[in-house]
Structure 1
């Protein structure tokens, strides 16, 4: 069975539509890839900023004490010496129990 000229004419007219569809699909894949890369870079930037914010956070336990009390360091030392016996009794009461197997078992089954 031979190909008729009308069949060739229809084939060539549809060939332009097919090529347009393929071009749109390829551009869509490239666009999707670009969007994913942009989102990934945003996430990395946010993580980096979070780490920098944590590193730059200078307030420690000492800064909190100085802000709240407003007392001089000498007065704080005296207060610590007075309450030293209380702190020692609290340490004796508070006992930490640790499991020796903790962190030894790794579940790799998923």
Structure 2
């Protein structure tokens, strides 16, 4: 199918419209990318200026350290362990305070 002269006249008159539309599309892409970059920049600035939440430790190293410290404090201060009993419970300590206890051995029997 051959191109007729009238078709050429129509195409040439529409060329400037097509060129403007294509340039607008290219500029639109550049504008969209710059807007996206500005949004990303704002988000990063907000992250830098904001207070970050602390994360829970994933490993058990901190918990082990805490447990060891707690065990050591209970060994050093055993009276604290007794004080943790309820206020209604009385302290019952069975201590025999005989100074001769365990020094004399009865061999007879």
**Pairwise TM-score range, normalised by the shorter structure:** 0.3 to 0.5
Give the alignment's TM-score, normalised by structure 1.
0.45
Q: Pick 1 or 2: higher relative contact order, CA cutoff 8 A, min separation 6.
A: 2
Structure (1 or 2) with the greater helix fraction: 1
